[in-house]
Structure 1
Amino acid sequence: MSDYFEIAYAAASDRLCLFTGTGFSKAVSGNSAPSWQGLLESVCALAPDPTTLKTALFPAGTHGVLALDEAAQVISIELVKSGKSIHDEIAAQIASLSVSGDNSAITSFLSTKSVKVVTTNYDKLLEELATPAACHSITPGLPIPRSQARVEVYHVHGSVDSPSNMVVTSDDYFRFINGESYFSRKLSTLLHENTVVILGYSLGDTNLKAILSSYKGFSRSHSISSNIFLISRSPITQHIKDYYAHCYGIRVLDNTEVHSFFQLLNLQMPEAERRLQGSVNDIRNVIFNSFEFTREYLRIETSFFEIVASIAAIGLSINDDRVVKMLGKVISTKIALTQENGAWNQYAHLARWLAYIASILELKGTSIESTYLAAALHSMTTMRSDYYVGYSWHAYSSWSNRWPNVIASNRGLIRTHIESQTSWPDALKVVRSA
């Protein structure tokens, strides 16, 4: 399944949360939004001795000795000497930003879809894109809206609407990280209950890493699939992808600009919306009313991905005994379909199904582990890396292409099982790669 279909399915079921950082604001403002360091450097000009201050904090050609929040604290102290507030000065600069360029893919999505947005940006650019009438902008220090809105934007670090409550200096960050606020609780809830897409954001923020680590502990104990995507405009190596997956349960979609992400997402929305209600009704009947998926339905490659997405849509864990029993039947039926005459496409489907589930769920210790490993062994011992009668070249291609996306711990688990159960060279070639 396309990762974009999974995200679109979450949007169609009102379970999508965007997490936006500076890169998002840069993208929608024609790159006029400043970086965090650039913003601090510009504020230095308002200090009594701006040249000395800027040189001390941001020496040319090297990194400063202080973290940016600490540099902001120093600037704040200097501005107070002139009767100025760093919060007010930053708010004044940010408030002048406006959207620019072709943002049609983003506005098309925001104009019709229900979505939650968590942002550490102070600006109101997303609200401008979504149109104020359809949007609640929720900011520390201001009343929480009681009515419903299709788009909800949570400014966890504050916004230009309330400068004094913006998280800027090290003192502000300390209070934010160590305080139990409505926004910290809300953020944790959104991570647990939604598919989260991180756009234009770095993992360097200490508070974000703490929340993501907390989420990962929750996801492991409930054996739910990884539901956080990081969209990166630059390529990211497999080692770094493995790090993100291991430490935070994040799947990385790299080489993707912000606008390209929304263009690809919009393409998937009509099909996701069409399938949503039928998939939810079907999974309820199978889980709660002892129905079974038909062989005709399971012959279709996308059926498995709909099943997994609909499990999350009705709030069940993949490790729920009823879900595991159902998935075991689904995989067993798919194996049976590979044994029919002329069913070569079924071998490729099975390989892609197994690679997909291993890319979103840490298998070790779950009750689906043994069923999965048996299916992987069947799939890998009926494939060949070249054309050969009786074996599936497409299954080999599917495993080979998707193997790097499998969670690192699952690669180790599958490799150990395959090596202990078969000497089939093409199976070993796949599991010993990446």
Structure 2
Amino acid sequence: METEITRGSILNLLSSSIIYGNLGLFIGAGFSKAVLDDDQDLGALSWGELIEASSSELSIDYSSIYKTGISYPEISTLICDKYASDNNIPYEEAKFLFKSKVCELTNWYPDSEQRGIYSEYLELMDPKWIITTNYDLVIESLLTGRCLSLSPQDYLTSPKEAIPVYHLHGIRHNPESIIITQEDYVKLFRPNEYRQIKLALTIKESTSLILGYGLGDVNVLSAVDWSKNIYKEENVSNVYPNEIVQVIRVDEPKEEPYMDKNNIIIIETNEIESFLKEFTDAHQVNLRSHVEQMEEIRRMNGELTATSDVKVNKFISDQGFRLGLLEALSKFEIHMISPFIDFLSRCIDKTWENAMPYGAFHGYNENLTVLLDIIIHIEFQKVPPALFEFVAYSLDRVLYYVGNSHGQSHQAERTWQSNKDEISREMVKELHGFAKRQRYINLERKLGSLLIT
């Protein structure tokens, strides 16, 4: 992040991502435990608790399984090996039965009160995608009618208006999809595995908020590394909010967030719900500001569409007003470009009207001044194609009357000479190339000398 990492700036980042439309959620078992309430007897189990409970259901003595220094997937493999041996059945059958018990034991659903509370949080966050390592359907119970459950065998896509909930490690209504043993995880590391590539790209293109997950999964960490390093381009400015923010639950949370060794922003809280309440309050403030801003843009568009001669004359003669409108256009191109071009066309027509009387050369200067402000004060990369084309045509047309010869505007020539060096090199090259292809002789001639210097 270019800005200072503070609690306020991170909450604003997440809020901006909701407004932009690229917030994604990465949800782990801690989220299910928070929704189901840790104090409930039938609350959600952690990964280790789930493996132990599943082995108990299969009458496997969990204490007899060697666990020192090995991972949960390796422990799950040992359990399946022992169950196969004890019952004289094939390993694959034992593994299926073990996974079936995992599915049975993740039969968790929040009560109506908790569902109402957390549904509101998710509705407000309006995630574009949810990736979860959970087998349960807690997320789906909070987003009834608004989401699509996806298993590891599915692609991360969904119909319009539906949030894809991608169960990275499998989903409880399909035991075959459950990824829990060592060999299950080996498959995740196959070269060019869709899931691994898609994870990295999804993270790269979004602001990812991690809730109730400790980033202990190696393939997830690998995707995070890919998104920050392999898919890294120099000198490319992000025009969208993009960070990875992890919410960590601790008894004594730090006030301010910090960056960990993986360049992930960590924000601490004593409870996930406490963070969600804090974030909700911050987002509602930003959302009100955004709504007011959009209302102002609509008001401006309305004025541009139904413009009087007073507004047209002000745009032509008042540079402060003109630059303010151009700045708004740069920030809100999508919302403003169509009414602005219509308005600009009327302004340019007015300058031609002003130039019609005999000797009224000031009209050409007005025309040129307006066009120069556009190509100087709007960043080259932010000039919409339709606006670029209109300006190029208009410049070629007015430049015929700009110069020191008889019948030309000397004032406009002085304006050109005073401002031409402020046109960016990129803009000059683009305009010159376009003028050459379109045979805009006046524009090509004027810009040709700028390319030589």
Shorter-normalised TM range = 0.5 to 0.7
Deviates more, 1:272-281 or 1:115-124: 272-281
Deviations 1:296-339 (A, max 9, x none): 99xxxxxxxxx8xx99xxxxxxxxx95999xxxxxxxxxxxxxx
The answer to whether the aligner puts 1:6 opposite 2:10 as a matched pair is no
Alpha-carbon distance in 2 for matches of 1:192, 1:27: 28
Q: Which residue of 2 aligns with 1:114?
A: 126
Query: Residue 56 of structure 1 is aligned with which of 65, 69, 80?
Result: 65
Q: Which residue of 2 aligns with 1:44?
A: 55
Alpha-carbon distance in 2 for matches of 1:267, 1:204: 30
The amino acid that maps onto 1:212 is V
Alpha-carbon distance in 1 for matches of 2:258, 2:131: 23
Instruction: Report SS of the residue matched to 1:201.
Output: coil
Query: Residue 75 of structure 1 is aligned with which of 58, 73, 79?
Result: 79
Alpha-carbon distance in 2 for matches of 1:156, 1:10: 23
Q: Which residue of 1 aligns with 2:301?
A: none
The answer to whether the aligner puts 1:98 opposite 2:122 as a matched pair is no
Count of aligned pairs: 288
Quote the offset at 1:177 in angstroms. 2.5
Contact 1:44 1:54 in 2 (8 A): no
Q: Which residue of 2 aligns with 1:257?
A: 271
Q: Which residue of 1 aligns with 2:173?
A: 161
Deviations 1:4-57 (A, max 9, x none): 222122112221101111111111112211111111111222456x23x53333
Pair 1:77–1:4, CA change in 2 (3 A): same
Contact 2:152 2:168 in 1 (8 A): yes
Alpha-carbon distance in 1 for matches of 2:227, 2:170: 23
Pair 1:113–1:241, CA change in 2 (3 A): closer
Quote the offset at 1:233 in angstroms. 1.3
Contact 2:149 2:167 in 1 (8 A): yes
The answer to whether the aligner puts 1:34 opposite 2:45 as a matched pair is yes
Correspondence 1:317-356 to 2 at 5 A: none
Pair 1:293–1:71, CA change in 2 (3 A): farther
The amino acid that maps onto 1:57 is Y
Correspondence 1:27-426 to 2 at 5 A: 27-31=34-38, 32-47=43-58, 50-51=60-61, 53-58=62-67, 64-81=68-85, 82=87, 83=89, 84=94, 85=96, 86-94=98-106, 96-100=107-111, 102-111=114-123, 113-115=125-127, 116-131=129-144, 133-141=145-153, 147-178=159-190, 180-217=192-229, 218-219=231-232, 221=234, 222=236, 224=238, 227-234=243-250, 235=252, 241-242=258-259, 244=260, 247-276=261-290, 278=293
Alpha-carbon distance in 1 for matches of 2:172, 2:83: 19
Contact 1:113 1:150 in 2 (8 A): no
Pair 1:194–1:36, CA change in 2 (3 A): same
Ranges in structure 2 where 5+ consecutive residues have no aligned partner:
1-7, 298-321, 334-377, 383-453
Q: Which residue of 2 aligns with 1:336?
A: none
Contact 1:109 1:266 in 2 (8 A): yes
Contact 2:73 2:185 in 1 (8 A): yes
Instruction: Report SS of the residue matched to 2:226.
Output: helix
Deviations 1:123-142 (A, max 9, x none): 110110111x1111111245
Instruction: Report SS of the residue matched to 2:149.
Output: strand
Contact 2:33 2:45 in 1 (8 A): yes
The amino acid that maps onto 1:203 is L
Alpha-carbon distance in 1 for matches of 2:205, 2:32: 25
Quote the offset at 1:200 in angstroms. 0.8
Deviates more, 1:149-158 or 1:197-206: 149-158
Pair 1:280–1:323, CA change in 2 (3 A): farther
Pair 1:22–1:113, CA change in 2 (3 A): closer
Alpha-carbon distance in 2 for matches of 1:173, 1:280: 51
Pair 1:41–1:77, CA change in 2 (3 A): same
Alpha-carbon distance in 1 for matches of 2:119, 2:232: 32
The amino acid that maps onto 1:194 is S
The amino acid that maps onto 1:251 is I
Contact 1:119 1:153 in 2 (8 A): yes
Quote the offset at 1:239 in angstroms. 13
Alpha-carbon distance in 2 for matches of 1:140, 1:109: 26
Alpha-carbon distance in 2 for matches of 1:270, 1:193: 24
Contact 1:159 1:166 in 2 (8 A): yes
Alpha-carbon distance in 1 for matches of 2:216, 2:257: 14
Instruction: Report SS of the residue matched to 1:211.
Output: helix
Contact 1:226 1:250 in 2 (8 A): no
Alpha-carbon distance in 1 for matches of 2:74, 2:104: 21
The amino acid that maps onto 1:120 is T
Q: What TM-score do you get using the length of structure 1 for normalisation?
A: 0.57
Deviations 1:315-368 (A, max 9, x none): xxxxxx95999xxxxxxxxxxxxxxxxxxxxxxxxxxxxxxxxxxxxxxxxxxx
Deviations 1:186-207 (A, max 9, x none): 3222201111111111122111
Q: What TM-score do you get using the length of structure 2 for normalisation?
A: 0.55
Contact 1:105 1:262 in 2 (8 A): no
Alpha-carbon distance in 2 for matches of 1:227, 1:279: 25
Q: CA RMSD in A?
A: 3.9
Higher relative contact order (CA 8 A, sep 6+): 1
Instruction: Report SS of the residue matched to 1:254.
Output: strand
Contact 1:136 1:149 in 2 (8 A): no
Instruction: Report SS of the residue matched to 2:269.
Output: coil
Alpha-carbon distance in 1 for matches of 2:10, 2:257: 19
Q: Which has the larger radius of gyration?
A: 2
The amino acid that maps onto 2:190 is N
